Chain A
Amino acid sequence: MDLRRDVFQAIADPTRRAIITLLALNAMTPTAIAEHFHSSRQTISKHIQILTECQLLEQEQNGREIHYHFNAKKMKEIADFIEPFRNLWDDRFNKLEAVMKKYRSKK
């Protein structure tokens, strides 16, 4: 599995976004997913593979069939992608505030 796969690249593709939307409603087999698209079964499989590698989809074995379902937790991480950037600046400014409070009390 390629852990370096970019999640943002994964959701940048319209077909992959459509697959996510489909699976947000129902878990589906790869065949059922492919029926919703004009693309070849092979192309859809590749999209499913990329989404699974990013953990946006999860596999579930039901007897002989594999169902894919949507991993909402991962999607939430992406929606909050700016949060780590904000935290970085928040930490930096907290440090500034602490340093200056100490500086003031020394005077």
Chain B
Amino acid sequence: MERKTKINAEDGKQELLITREFDLPLELLFKAYEDPEIVEQWMGTKVLKLENKKHGGYQFETTDPMGNKHRFGGVIHEFNSNQKIIRTFEMENTPFGVQLEFLEFEKLTDDTSKLNMHVVFKSVELRNQLLKLPFAQGINMAHNRIQEILSNHNHDSK
């Protein structure tokens, strides 16, 4: 089966491309980015602010399993319904800096659509760090699990 979400991150470039085809009409895909209530549902975040217009801002907030709140957001540069959104993105209080995001919404058929997300970073290093983040978290989780299993095992054998 062909993978629906594709990531293209060329070596030595400070950008990445995320593309995805949806079994949704273009209007519904765009609405998922426009309507704060719907954004909350699929992003799993609280929407503090979402001003869908040029010079508007947006701010979302998530709560991690430890109860810590994390905020992220940015400024909207362009907002064309069913076509494109250009915005900045920043995770507050993290070293990742500001990213520039170009979101293009494309109609494929009456019932299918495509999202092209072009993300530009301040440097190649920052891009690579962000790409590795889920991988690093996965490795840490695997290590924690192994340690847990080993410590339970030691406990049992005593």
Contacts and interface: CB of A to CB of B under 8 A. Distances in A.
Chain B interface, >50% SS class: helix
A34 B131 CA distance: 34
A84 B5 contact: no
Contacts, number: 79
Interface in B44-90: 44
B133 interface: yes
Main secondary structure of the interface of A (DSSP, over half): helix
A35 interface: no
Interface residues of B, number: 34
Interface stretch (A56-64, A65-73, A93-101): A93-101
B18 A89 contact: yes
A86 B3 contact: yes
Contact of B132 (A3, A81, A94, A95): A81
A104 to B, nearest CB: 6
Nearest to B134: A84
Given A8-B132, A99-B38, A82 B143 contact: no
A7 B139 contact: yes
B158 interface: no
A93 B4 contact: yes
B9 interface: yes
B41 interface: yes
B5 A93 contact: yes
B5 A90 contact: yes
Nearest to A6: B136
A83 B139 CA distance: 13
B120 interface: no
Interface of B: 3-7, 9, 18, 20, 22-24, 28-29, 31-32, 38, 41-44, 115, 130-140, 143, 147
16 contacts: A81-B132, A84-B137, A85-B135, A86-B5, A87-B134, A88-B134, A89-B5, A89-B18, A90-B4, A90-B20, A92-B43, A99-B41, A100-B32, A101-B24, A103-B28, A103-B31
Given A85-B134, A104-B24, 7 more contacts: A77-B139, A81-B131, A93-B115, A95-B41, A99-B41, A100-B32, A101-B24
Minimum-distance CB pairs A-B, first 8: A84-B134, A90-B5, A96-B42, A81-B135, A95-B42, A99-B42, A84-B135, A100-B28
